[in-house]
Amino acid sequence: MIPYGKQTIDDDDIAAVVAALKSDFLTCGPEIEAFEQEFAALVGAKHAVVVCNATAALHLAMLVAEVGKGDRVVTSPNTFVSSANCAAFVGATPDFCDIDAETYNLCPKALANGWKKDTKAVVAVAYAGQSPDMPAIAEVARSHGAVVIEDGCHGTGGGFSVYGKDYKIGGHPWADITTFSFHPVKTMTTGEGGMLVTDSDEYARRARHLRGHGITREAEEFIGLGGDTTELQEQGGWYYEMQSLGYNYRITDLQCALGRSQLKKLPSFIERRRAIVAQYNAAFADLAWLQTPQTLNAENAAHISWHLYSVQIDFKALGLSRSEAMQRLRDQGVGSQVLYIPVHLQPYYRKEFGYSVGKCPNAENYYEQALSLPLFPKMSDDDVDTVIRNVQKIAQ
Ligand SMILES: Cc1ncc(COP(=O)(O)O)c(C=O)c1O
């Protein structure tokens, strides 16, 4: 079966993990900081804070931006649940703004029109790897004093072009914090893993602090346990203070060693993804019942790192239900996936926040016709042909 997504691991990756296993540190060692530095350089951000997964990174983003009870956080419904759940983790109200009908990303006009004054943050998701219109989203959010969190989980290594200049996701002025995921189906992997990047010294400091239980071992930061702190500062290295309610969101050195090895190959992974997308687009261009992914503009298209190849299918015109179409593909060894069920329609969100059908019509229509086809660098030319052939003849 050709799955819809899969990691690409080679002997160099395995050697890097084995070397980390043989080293003195399985966690809290030198691979952590090295990975952070290399990643920050790749995206062009001042700080990178690596964590155990992107859901943790989104949670930390909420905490460092001081989002909490009484605040609203607006995101796209066309995303994985974490983009919204992070708001609920901190007691804020997750809310949803409809997507643009062409790019399937959060629509800045809808964001402006539906703005509610308790909105403290916007989580702007780069669906499938394509960034939403970040300058327009930032303009709306910042004019109301809200923080912009870019959920770049689909877009590691990708970017966009605006005002004649090229920017990397995580490395532009229209987001205060960006998060990335290194789950195996993403553009690079650490098994599980995530990154928070920011240009803010304070956000980065707080994120590091909360990643490690809210504990500090830095003598100059000690507050003390009620007594004189001078003595504490003179102690050996054993003393520590928990100053905030933090978490264990650490990642291991083994994973960061894998991440560093994957980083080296990220450009070639993205190149292969783009080549497969181009092949699919050409092969499916004439199918009246299938819409290939649309891009914000041609300039941008060249910068997308394409985590997903998501098409829109008019299942009525095709004469098959989505489940039947997926089964036919599966019978021929082609996996597919539905990404995404609009998050506001998930039972938890209906029950807890009273959201219902009709809240985000574009996202709901998108979902009705959505199908993601296999896309990962390790796909052979034969795999790509198999997918193309079976999609083309699916109705026969
Ligand atoms: C858009 C988006 N945000 C956040 C996440 C959460 O990532 P992780 O699985 O690393 O927690 C995902 C993962 O699928 C995602 O697709």
The 10s digit of each residue's pLDDT in 148-189 is: 999 999 999 999 999 889 999 999 999 999 999 999 999 999
The answer to whether residues 234 and 313 belong to one domain is no
- Which CATH number fits the domain that encloses residue 343? 3.90.1150.10
State which of 259, 289, 313 marks the end of a domain: 259
In terms of domains, do 245 and 326 share one? no
How many domains is the chain built from?
2
Q: Using a 6 Å cutoff on CB, does residue 178 contact ligand 1?
A: no
Q: Is there a single domain that holds both residue 244 and residue 353?
A: no
Residues 211 and 322 both lie in one domain? no
**Residue holding tokens 């966690």?**
27
Q: Check residue 329 and give its pLDDT.
A: 98
Residue nearest to atom 13 of ligand 1 (CA): 80
Residue identified by tokens 């092969």 is 283
Task: Compute the distance from residue 125 Cα to the ligand 1 centre, in Å.
Answer: 10
Residue 204: count of CB within 10 angstroms of its CB: 22
Does 156 map to a domain? yes
Residue 1 belongs to a domain: no
Residues 212 and 304 in one domain: no
Last residue of a domain, one of 206, 232, 259: 259
- Please indicate, yes or no, whether residues 280 and 303 belong to a single structural domain of this protein: yes
What are the tens digits of pLDDT across the range 114-153?
999 999 999 999 999 999 999 999 999 999 999 999 999 9
DSSP string, 160-180: EEETTEEEETTBSTT-SEEEE
Does one domain contain both 373 and 249? Answer: no
Residue 300: pLDDT band (50, 70, 90) is: confident
The residue-averaged pLDDT of 246-258 equals: 98
Q: How far is Cα 98 from Cα 92, in angstroms, rounded to an integer?
A: 19
Task: State the closest ligand 1 atom to the C-alpha of 193, by its place in the atom list counted from 1.
Answer: 10
Both 48 and 197 in one domain: the answer is yes
pLDDT exceeds 90 at position 327: yes
In a domain, 172, yes or no: yes
* Residues 231, 320 within the same domain: no
pTM value?
0.97
Is any atom of ligand 1 closer than 6 Å to the C-beta of 55?
A: yes
The residue ranking higher by pLDDT, 282 or 240, is: 282
pLDDT digits (tens, 9 = 90+) for 48-102: 999 999 999 999 999 999 999 999 999 999 999 999 999 999 999 999 999 999 9
Shared domain check, 251 and 364 = no
Note whether residue 6 is domain-resident: no
Q: Which two tokens mark 20? A: 């980390």
Please say which residue of 239, 259, 279 terminates a domain. Answer: 259
* SS3 (DSSP) at 345: helix
100/77 Cα distance (integer angstroms) = 11
- The residue-averaged pLDDT of 254-279 equals 98
pLDDT above 80: residue 230: no
- Is residue 329 located within the same domain as residue 287? yes
CB of 255 shorter than 6 A to ligand 1: no
Domain coverage including residue 299: 266-392
Show which residues are catalytic: 186
Task: Phi first, then psi: give them for residue 111, nearest 5 degrees.
Answer: -60, -45
pLDDT at residue 234 tops 90: no
